[in-house]
Chains A and B, each alone.
Chain A
Amino acid sequence: MVTTLLDARRARHIAEQVPDPELPMLTLADLGVLRGVEVTDDGTVVARLTPTYSGCPAMAEMRAGVAARLREAGYSRVEIRTELDPPWSSDWITPAGRRKLAEHGIAPPGAAPRSAGGPVPLVLSPTRHTVPCPRCGSADTEETSRFAATSCKALWRCRACREPFEYVKEI
Protein backbone atom coordinates (compact mmCIF):
# COMPACT_ATOMS: atom_id res chain seq x y z
CA MET A 1 0.00 0.00 0.00
CA VAL A 2 2.78 2.40 0.99
CA THR A 3 4.67 1.39 -2.12
CA THR A 4 1.61 2.16 -4.23
CA LEU A 5 1.26 5.64 -2.75
CA LEU A 6 4.94 6.40 -3.27
CA ASP A 7 4.71 4.95 -6.74
CA ALA A 8 1.72 7.10 -7.58
CA ARG A 9 3.51 10.22 -6.43
CA ARG A 10 6.62 9.39 -8.43
CA ALA A 11 4.58 8.44 -11.52
CA ARG A 12 2.63 11.69 -11.28
CA HIS A 13 5.83 13.67 -11.00
CA ILE A 14 7.21 11.99 -14.16
CA ALA A 15 4.02 12.54 -16.17
CA GLU A 16 3.86 16.18 -15.03
CA GLN A 17 7.27 16.92 -16.53
CA VAL A 18 6.37 15.86 -20.10
CA PRO A 19 6.57 18.94 -22.39
CA ASP A 20 3.58 20.02 -24.44
CA PRO A 21 4.22 19.28 -28.14
CA GLU A 22 2.95 22.68 -29.34
CA LEU A 23 4.14 24.86 -26.46
CA PRO A 24 7.24 23.00 -25.25
CA MET A 25 8.12 25.68 -22.70
CA LEU A 26 5.13 24.30 -20.77
CA THR A 27 4.78 20.89 -19.20
CA LEU A 28 1.48 19.05 -19.59
CA ALA A 29 0.84 19.90 -15.92
CA ASP A 30 1.46 23.63 -16.59
CA LEU A 31 -1.06 23.51 -19.43
CA GLY A 32 -3.65 21.80 -17.24
CA VAL A 33 -4.25 18.90 -19.65
CA LEU A 34 -2.92 16.23 -17.27
CA ARG A 35 -6.02 15.54 -15.19
CA GLY A 36 -4.58 12.90 -12.88
CA VAL A 37 -2.22 9.98 -12.42
CA GLU A 38 -3.18 6.94 -10.37
CA VAL A 39 -1.72 3.49 -9.76
CA THR A 40 -4.27 0.65 -9.74
CA ASP A 41 -4.10 -2.42 -7.46
CA ASP A 42 -2.40 -4.46 -10.18
CA GLY A 43 0.33 -1.83 -10.52
CA THR A 44 -0.90 -0.21 -13.74
CA VAL A 45 -0.19 3.50 -13.97
CA VAL A 46 -3.28 5.29 -15.30
CA ALA A 47 -2.72 8.82 -16.60
CA ARG A 48 -5.74 10.91 -17.62
CA LEU A 49 -5.38 13.57 -20.33
CA THR A 50 -7.84 16.04 -21.79
CA PRO A 51 -7.55 17.81 -25.17
CA THR A 52 -7.45 21.61 -25.29
CA TYR A 53 -9.59 21.80 -28.47
CA SER A 54 -11.59 18.99 -30.16
CA GLY A 55 -9.31 19.10 -33.19
CA CYS A 56 -6.01 19.40 -31.33
CA PRO A 57 -3.63 17.30 -33.46
CA ALA A 58 -1.18 16.99 -30.58
CA MET A 59 -3.28 14.59 -28.47
CA ALA A 60 -1.72 11.40 -29.89
CA GLU A 61 1.73 12.89 -29.36
CA MET A 62 0.90 13.82 -25.76
CA ARG A 63 -0.34 10.30 -25.05
CA ALA A 64 2.77 8.78 -26.58
CA GLY A 65 5.00 11.20 -24.66
CA VAL A 66 3.49 10.39 -21.27
CA ALA A 67 3.51 6.63 -21.93
CA ALA A 68 7.13 6.70 -23.11
CA ARG A 69 8.40 8.70 -20.10
CA LEU A 70 6.61 6.41 -17.67
CA ARG A 71 7.97 3.28 -19.35
CA GLU A 72 11.48 4.73 -19.32
CA ALA A 73 11.04 5.26 -15.57
CA GLY A 74 10.38 1.54 -15.14
CA TYR A 75 6.59 1.34 -15.17
CA SER A 76 5.81 -1.57 -17.46
CA ARG A 77 2.02 -1.24 -17.32
CA VAL A 78 0.87 2.18 -18.46
CA GLU A 79 -2.60 3.18 -19.56
CA ILE A 80 -3.51 6.60 -20.94
CA ARG A 81 -7.16 7.61 -20.76
CA THR A 82 -8.83 10.50 -22.55
CA GLU A 83 -11.06 12.61 -20.36
CA LEU A 84 -13.51 14.93 -22.14
CA ASP A 85 -15.55 16.08 -19.19
CA PRO A 86 -15.22 18.75 -17.90
CA PRO A 87 -13.89 20.45 -21.07
CA TRP A 88 -10.46 22.05 -20.83
CA SER A 89 -10.38 25.70 -19.83
CA SER A 90 -7.52 28.15 -20.26
CA ASP A 91 -8.12 28.90 -16.54
CA TRP A 92 -6.36 25.59 -15.87
CA ILE A 93 -2.99 26.92 -17.05
CA THR A 94 -1.02 27.15 -13.81
CA PRO A 95 0.65 30.36 -12.51
CA ALA A 96 4.03 28.80 -13.39
CA GLY A 97 2.71 28.07 -16.89
CA ARG A 98 1.54 31.66 -17.33
CA ARG A 99 4.94 32.95 -16.25
CA LYS A 100 6.74 30.66 -18.71
CA LEU A 101 4.46 31.70 -21.58
CA ALA A 102 5.18 35.37 -20.93
CA GLU A 103 8.93 34.67 -20.70
CA HIS A 104 8.72 33.16 -24.19
CA GLY A 105 6.86 36.11 -25.68
CA ILE A 106 3.39 34.55 -25.57
CA ALA A 107 0.75 36.51 -23.68
CA PRO A 108 -1.09 34.31 -21.16
CA PRO A 109 -4.91 34.22 -21.18
CA GLY A 110 -7.20 36.30 -18.97
CA ALA A 111 -10.12 34.73 -17.10
CA ALA A 112 -12.33 32.51 -19.27
CA PRO A 113 -15.93 33.66 -19.80
CA ARG A 114 -18.33 32.07 -17.32
CA SER A 115 -21.51 30.55 -18.63
CA ALA A 116 -24.51 32.26 -17.03
CA GLY A 117 -26.88 29.62 -18.46
CA GLY A 118 -29.16 30.32 -21.42
CA PRO A 119 -27.95 31.14 -24.94
CA VAL A 120 -24.30 32.20 -25.33
CA PRO A 121 -24.49 35.97 -25.94
CA LEU A 122 -23.07 37.42 -29.16
CA VAL A 123 -21.24 40.69 -28.54
CA LEU A 124 -20.68 42.85 -31.62
CA SER A 125 -19.34 46.02 -30.01
CA PRO A 126 -15.54 46.39 -30.10
CA THR A 127 -13.98 44.56 -27.17
CA ARG A 128 -12.58 46.59 -24.31
CA HIS A 129 -10.32 43.65 -23.60
CA THR A 130 -6.62 44.61 -23.30
CA VAL A 131 -3.72 42.22 -23.51
CA PRO A 132 -0.42 43.66 -22.25
CA CYS A 133 2.54 43.16 -24.59
CA PRO A 134 4.66 40.25 -23.29
CA ARG A 135 7.82 42.00 -24.51
CA CYS A 136 7.53 45.62 -23.38
CA GLY A 137 4.49 45.46 -21.08
CA SER A 138 2.60 48.20 -22.95
CA ALA A 139 -1.20 48.02 -22.84
CA ASP A 140 -1.33 49.69 -26.27
CA THR A 141 -1.92 46.45 -28.23
CA GLU A 142 -4.41 45.21 -30.81
CA GLU A 143 -5.69 41.92 -32.16
CA THR A 144 -4.71 41.11 -35.74
CA SER A 145 -6.43 37.71 -35.90
CA ARG A 146 -8.38 35.64 -33.43
CA PHE A 147 -6.77 32.53 -34.90
CA ALA A 148 -3.08 31.67 -35.11
CA ALA A 149 -0.64 28.82 -35.72
CA THR A 150 -2.46 26.63 -33.18
CA SER A 151 -6.12 26.52 -32.17
CA CYS A 152 -5.41 27.83 -28.70
CA LYS A 153 -3.75 31.10 -29.74
CA ALA A 154 -4.65 34.46 -31.33
CA LEU A 155 -2.34 36.95 -33.10
CA TRP A 156 -1.79 40.38 -31.60
CA ARG A 157 0.61 43.25 -32.11
CA CYS A 158 2.02 45.91 -29.86
CA ARG A 159 1.63 49.51 -31.04
CA ALA A 160 4.38 50.68 -28.65
CA CYS A 161 7.28 48.32 -29.48
CA ARG A 162 5.79 47.30 -32.88
CA GLU A 163 6.34 43.61 -32.20
CA PRO A 164 3.73 41.00 -33.13
CA PHE A 165 3.00 38.39 -30.47
CA GLU A 166 0.84 35.38 -29.82
CA TYR A 167 -1.77 35.25 -27.13
CA VAL A 168 -3.42 32.18 -25.57
CA LYS A 169 -7.18 32.66 -25.95
CA GLU A 170 -9.64 32.39 -23.09
CA ILE A 171 -11.83 29.36 -23.45
Chain B
Amino acid sequence: MSDDHVYMTLAEGHEDDTRWAYGTGFEDPLHGVDTTVPEGVDPAELAALCVALGDDALVQAQRLAEWTTRAPELEEEVALANIGLDLLGQARLLYSRAGQADGTGRAEDAYAYFRDAADFRNVRLAELPNGDFAFSIVRMLLLSSWRLAHFQQLASHPDPVLSAIAAKGVKELAYHRQYAAEWSVRLGDGTEESHRRMRAALEQTAPYLGELFTAHDARDEVVAVLRQVTEAAGLPMPVYRPLPGAGRHGEHTEHLAPLLTELQGVARAHPEATW
Protein backbone atom coordinates (compact mmCIF):
# COMPACT_ATOMS: atom_id res chain seq x y z
CA MET B 1 0.00 0.00 0.00
CA SER B 2 1.50 3.34 -0.95
CA ASP B 3 1.28 6.44 1.22
CA ASP B 4 -0.70 8.17 -1.52
CA HIS B 5 -3.24 5.41 -1.44
CA VAL B 6 -3.81 5.41 2.33
CA TYR B 7 -4.16 9.18 2.49
CA MET B 8 -6.58 9.09 -0.44
CA THR B 9 -9.00 7.04 1.67
CA LEU B 10 -9.55 10.20 3.72
CA ALA B 11 -10.90 12.04 0.72
CA GLU B 12 -13.88 9.69 0.51
CA GLY B 13 -17.06 11.55 1.29
CA HIS B 14 -19.67 10.42 3.71
CA GLU B 15 -23.18 11.59 4.47
CA ASP B 16 -22.28 13.33 7.74
CA ASP B 17 -20.58 16.52 6.81
CA THR B 18 -18.42 16.53 9.93
CA ARG B 19 -14.87 17.05 8.78
CA TRP B 20 -12.27 18.86 10.78
CA ALA B 21 -12.95 20.58 14.05
CA TYR B 22 -12.14 24.27 13.78
CA GLY B 23 -14.52 27.07 14.67
CA THR B 24 -17.73 26.91 16.65
CA GLY B 25 -20.68 24.55 17.03
CA PHE B 26 -18.65 21.36 17.46
CA GLU B 27 -20.26 18.15 18.43
CA ASP B 28 -20.32 17.71 22.22
CA PRO B 29 -16.93 16.28 23.29
CA LEU B 30 -18.79 14.18 25.87
CA HIS B 31 -21.14 12.82 23.18
CA GLY B 32 -22.65 9.55 24.40
CA VAL B 33 -21.09 9.69 27.88
CA ASP B 34 -23.38 8.91 30.84
CA THR B 35 -23.80 12.38 32.35
CA THR B 36 -25.78 11.53 35.51
CA VAL B 37 -24.30 13.35 38.49
CA PRO B 38 -23.81 10.67 41.17
CA GLU B 39 -25.55 10.92 44.53
CA GLY B 40 -23.43 12.65 47.14
CA VAL B 41 -21.86 15.01 44.57
CA ASP B 42 -23.12 18.60 44.76
CA PRO B 43 -23.90 19.54 41.14
CA ALA B 44 -23.26 23.27 41.67
CA GLU B 45 -19.88 22.63 43.28
CA LEU B 46 -18.94 20.17 40.54
CA ALA B 47 -19.90 22.69 37.85
CA ALA B 48 -17.94 25.50 39.55
CA LEU B 49 -14.84 23.30 39.80
CA CYS B 50 -15.11 22.26 36.15
CA VAL B 51 -15.50 25.89 35.03
CA ALA B 52 -12.46 27.02 37.05
CA LEU B 53 -10.29 24.19 35.69
CA GLY B 54 -11.64 24.77 32.19
CA ASP B 55 -10.86 28.49 32.42
CA ASP B 56 -7.28 27.82 33.56
CA ALA B 57 -6.84 25.60 30.51
CA LEU B 58 -8.58 27.81 27.95
CA VAL B 59 -6.70 30.97 28.96
CA GLN B 60 -3.34 29.16 28.96
CA ALA B 61 -4.16 27.62 25.58
CA GLN B 62 -4.84 31.10 24.17
CA ARG B 63 -1.51 32.43 25.48
CA LEU B 64 0.29 29.42 23.99
CA ALA B 65 -1.45 29.90 20.64
CA GLU B 66 -0.09 33.47 20.59
CA TRP B 67 3.40 32.00 20.19
CA THR B 68 2.46 30.64 16.76
CA THR B 69 4.69 32.37 14.17
CA ARG B 70 6.68 34.02 17.00
CA ALA B 71 8.52 31.14 18.70
CA PRO B 72 12.35 30.96 18.49
CA GLU B 73 12.35 27.74 16.43
CA LEU B 74 9.76 25.87 14.36
CA GLU B 75 9.99 22.83 16.66
CA GLU B 76 9.15 25.00 19.66
CA GLU B 77 6.23 26.54 17.87
CA VAL B 78 4.86 23.06 17.16
CA ALA B 79 5.45 22.06 20.79
CA LEU B 80 3.73 25.13 22.23
CA ALA B 81 0.75 24.74 19.89
CA ASN B 82 0.44 21.03 20.76
CA ILE B 83 0.50 21.77 24.48
CA GLY B 84 -2.14 24.44 23.91
CA LEU B 85 -4.25 21.94 21.98
CA ASP B 86 -4.13 19.43 24.86
CA LEU B 87 -5.28 22.16 27.24
CA LEU B 88 -8.00 23.29 24.85
CA GLY B 89 -9.22 19.68 24.71
CA GLN B 90 -9.30 19.53 28.50
CA ALA B 91 -11.23 22.84 28.61
CA ARG B 92 -13.82 21.55 26.13
CA LEU B 93 -14.47 18.40 28.19
CA LEU B 94 -14.64 20.39 31.44
CA TYR B 95 -17.05 23.02 30.06
CA SER B 96 -19.25 20.31 28.65
CA ARG B 97 -19.30 18.60 32.06
CA ALA B 98 -20.09 21.94 33.77
CA GLY B 99 -23.07 22.59 31.50
CA GLN B 100 -24.57 19.19 32.32
CA ALA B 101 -23.89 19.45 36.05
CA ASP B 102 -25.26 22.97 36.62
CA GLY B 103 -28.51 22.01 34.92
CA THR B 104 -28.36 24.79 32.33
CA GLY B 105 -27.38 22.40 29.56
CA ARG B 106 -25.05 25.09 28.22
CA ALA B 107 -22.60 23.86 25.60
CA GLU B 108 -18.88 24.57 25.61
CA ASP B 109 -19.22 27.64 23.35
CA ALA B 110 -21.40 29.40 25.93
CA TYR B 111 -18.57 29.18 28.45
CA ALA B 112 -15.72 30.00 26.10
CA TYR B 113 -17.27 32.75 23.98
CA PHE B 114 -20.14 34.31 25.88
CA ARG B 115 -18.83 35.10 29.34
CA ASP B 116 -17.02 38.31 30.32
CA ALA B 117 -13.72 38.62 32.19
CA ALA B 118 -15.45 38.96 35.59
CA ASP B 119 -17.15 35.58 34.99
CA PHE B 120 -13.87 33.80 34.34
CA ARG B 121 -12.38 31.89 37.27
CA ASN B 122 -8.88 31.13 36.01
CA VAL B 123 -5.87 31.83 38.23
CA ARG B 124 -4.22 35.11 37.20
CA LEU B 125 -0.86 33.54 36.37
CA ALA B 126 -2.54 31.98 33.30
CA GLU B 127 -3.63 35.33 31.86
CA LEU B 128 -0.42 37.37 32.18
CA PRO B 129 0.98 38.42 28.78
CA ASN B 130 3.69 36.25 27.22
CA GLY B 131 6.54 38.74 26.93
CA ASP B 132 9.79 36.81 27.09
CA PHE B 133 10.05 33.13 26.09
CA ALA B 134 11.63 32.45 29.52
CA PHE B 135 8.51 33.85 31.18
CA SER B 136 6.23 31.50 29.24
CA ILE B 137 8.47 28.56 30.14
CA VAL B 138 8.46 29.38 33.88
CA ARG B 139 4.71 29.92 33.79
CA MET B 140 4.24 26.54 32.10
CA LEU B 141 6.52 24.87 34.66
CA LEU B 142 4.47 26.27 37.55
CA LEU B 143 1.03 25.73 36.07
CA SER B 144 1.70 22.25 34.70
CA SER B 145 3.26 21.05 38.00
CA TRP B 146 0.31 22.45 39.92
CA ARG B 147 -2.35 21.12 37.55
CA LEU B 148 -0.66 17.71 37.35
CA ALA B 149 -0.77 17.36 41.16
CA HIS B 150 -4.39 18.55 41.23
CA PHE B 151 -5.49 16.21 38.41
CA GLN B 152 -3.81 13.25 40.10
CA GLN B 153 -6.07 13.84 43.10
CA LEU B 154 -9.12 14.47 40.92
CA ALA B 155 -8.58 11.10 39.24
CA SER B 156 -10.31 9.63 42.31
CA HIS B 157 -13.11 12.26 42.40
CA PRO B 158 -16.56 10.68 43.02
CA ASP B 159 -17.84 12.12 39.73
CA PRO B 160 -16.79 9.52 37.15
CA VAL B 161 -16.72 12.03 34.27
CA LEU B 162 -14.43 14.50 36.06
CA SER B 163 -12.22 11.66 37.31
CA ALA B 164 -11.87 10.31 33.75
CA ILE B 165 -11.04 13.78 32.35
CA ALA B 166 -8.42 14.19 35.09
CA ALA B 167 -6.86 10.74 34.64
CA LYS B 168 -6.49 11.44 30.94
CA GLY B 169 -5.08 14.92 31.60
CA VAL B 170 -2.40 13.59 33.96
CA LYS B 171 -0.63 11.85 31.08
CA GLU B 172 -0.68 15.00 28.95
CA LEU B 173 0.41 17.31 31.77
CA ALA B 174 3.41 15.10 32.52
CA TYR B 175 4.63 15.84 28.96
CA HIS B 176 3.99 19.58 29.39
CA ARG B 177 5.91 19.72 32.65
CA GLN B 178 8.78 17.74 31.13
CA TYR B 179 9.01 20.21 28.25
CA ALA B 180 9.00 23.25 30.56
CA ALA B 181 11.50 21.66 32.97
CA GLU B 182 13.98 20.80 30.20
CA TRP B 183 13.81 24.32 28.77
CA SER B 184 14.21 25.80 32.26
CA VAL B 185 17.45 23.86 32.74
CA ARG B 186 18.68 24.70 29.24
CA LEU B 187 18.08 28.43 29.73
CA GLY B 188 19.02 28.65 33.40
CA ASP B 189 22.25 26.76 32.77
CA GLY B 190 22.80 28.42 29.37
CA THR B 191 24.31 31.82 28.66
CA GLU B 192 24.55 34.74 31.05
CA GLU B 193 21.67 36.36 29.15
CA SER B 194 19.36 33.33 29.25
CA HIS B 195 20.17 32.84 32.94
CA ARG B 196 19.29 36.47 33.66
CA ARG B 197 15.98 36.14 31.85
CA MET B 198 15.07 32.97 33.74
CA ARG B 199 15.78 34.72 37.04
CA ALA B 200 13.59 37.61 35.98
CA ALA B 201 10.80 35.21 35.01
CA LEU B 202 10.97 33.44 38.38
CA GLU B 203 10.73 36.82 40.16
CA GLN B 204 7.82 37.94 37.98
CA THR B 205 5.79 34.79 38.58
CA ALA B 206 6.54 34.39 42.32
CA PRO B 207 3.78 36.78 43.51
CA TYR B 208 1.14 34.60 41.81
CA LEU B 209 2.20 31.33 43.47
CA GLY B 210 0.14 31.95 46.62
CA GLU B 211 -3.01 32.19 44.53
CA LEU B 212 -2.35 28.75 43.05
CA PHE B 213 -1.98 27.18 46.47
CA THR B 214 -5.14 28.86 47.78
CA ALA B 215 -7.08 27.50 44.80
CA HIS B 216 -5.60 24.05 45.31
CA ASP B 217 -2.99 23.21 47.89
CA ALA B 218 -0.36 21.40 45.85
CA ARG B 219 2.45 23.39 47.49
CA ASP B 220 4.58 20.33 48.32
CA GLU B 221 4.51 18.94 44.78
CA VAL B 222 5.14 22.29 43.10
CA VAL B 223 7.94 23.29 45.48
CA ALA B 224 9.59 19.87 45.03
CA VAL B 225 9.57 20.28 41.23
CA LEU B 226 10.81 23.87 41.48
CA ARG B 227 13.63 22.82 43.81
CA GLN B 228 14.67 20.00 41.47
CA VAL B 229 14.61 22.24 38.39
CA THR B 230 16.26 25.32 39.90
CA GLU B 231 19.03 23.16 41.36
CA ALA B 232 19.74 21.54 37.98
CA ALA B 233 19.53 24.97 36.28
CA GLY B 234 21.72 26.81 38.78
CA LEU B 235 18.86 29.20 39.58
CA PRO B 236 17.69 30.50 42.95
CA MET B 237 14.36 29.32 44.38
CA PRO B 238 11.83 32.12 43.87
CA VAL B 239 11.04 34.17 46.96
CA TYR B 240 7.34 33.88 47.54
CA ARG B 241 5.52 37.19 48.09
CA PRO B 242 1.72 37.03 48.37
CA LEU B 243 -0.40 39.36 46.27
CA PRO B 244 -4.01 40.30 47.09
CA GLY B 245 -6.80 39.36 44.70
CA ALA B 246 -7.76 36.04 43.17
CA GLY B 247 -8.85 34.94 39.74
CA ARG B 248 -10.94 32.20 41.36
CA HIS B 249 -13.19 35.04 42.65
CA GLY B 250 -13.32 36.80 39.31
CA GLU B 251 -10.69 39.38 40.31
CA HIS B 252 -8.38 39.58 37.32
CA THR B 253 -5.50 41.66 36.01
CA GLU B 254 -6.10 44.16 33.22
CA HIS B 255 -4.69 41.56 30.79
CA LEU B 256 -7.62 39.13 30.73
CA ALA B 257 -10.20 41.35 29.01
CA PRO B 258 -8.06 42.02 25.88
CA LEU B 259 -7.22 38.30 25.66
CA LEU B 260 -10.94 37.46 25.71
CA THR B 261 -11.74 40.19 23.18
CA GLU B 262 -9.46 38.46 20.70
CA LEU B 263 -10.66 34.96 21.61
CA GLN B 264 -14.38 35.83 21.52
CA GLY B 265 -14.55 38.53 18.84
CA VAL B 266 -15.71 36.49 15.85
CA ALA B 267 -18.14 34.32 17.83
CA ARG B 268 -19.76 37.43 19.34
CA ALA B 269 -19.94 39.31 16.06
CA HIS B 270 -21.72 36.33 14.45
CA PRO B 271 -23.42 34.58 17.38
CA GLU B 272 -25.52 32.28 15.22
CA ALA B 273 -22.75 31.25 12.88
CA THR B 274 -20.95 27.93 12.83
CA TRP B 275 -17.74 27.44 10.94
Contacts and interface: CB of A to CB of B under 8 A. Distances in A.
Interface string A130-171: 000000000000001111110100010000000000000101
B88 interface: yes
B192 interface: no
A84 B75 contact: no
A63 B31 contact: yes
A67 B181 CA distance: 42
Nearest to A149: B78
Counting chain A CB atoms within 10 Å of each CB, which of B9, B26, B90 scores highest? Answer: B9
A51 to B, nearest CB: 8
B90 A68 contact: no
Contacts, number: 144
Interface in A88-117: 88, 104
Interface size class of A (residues with CB under 8 A): 35 or more
B89 A53 contact: yes
B168 interface: yes
| B interface, over-half SS | helix
A69 B90 CA distance: 29
A76 interface: no
A88 to B, nearest CB: 8
Given A60-B27, A104-B6, A145-B75, A124 B32 contact: no
B89 A124 contact: no
B1 interface: yes
Interface of B: 1, 3, 6-7, 9-10, 14-16, 18-22, 26-27, 29-33, 75-76, 78-79, 81-83, 85-90, 92-93, 148-149, 152, 160-161, 163-165, 167-172, 174-175, 177-179, 181-182, 185, 221, 224-225, 228-229, 232
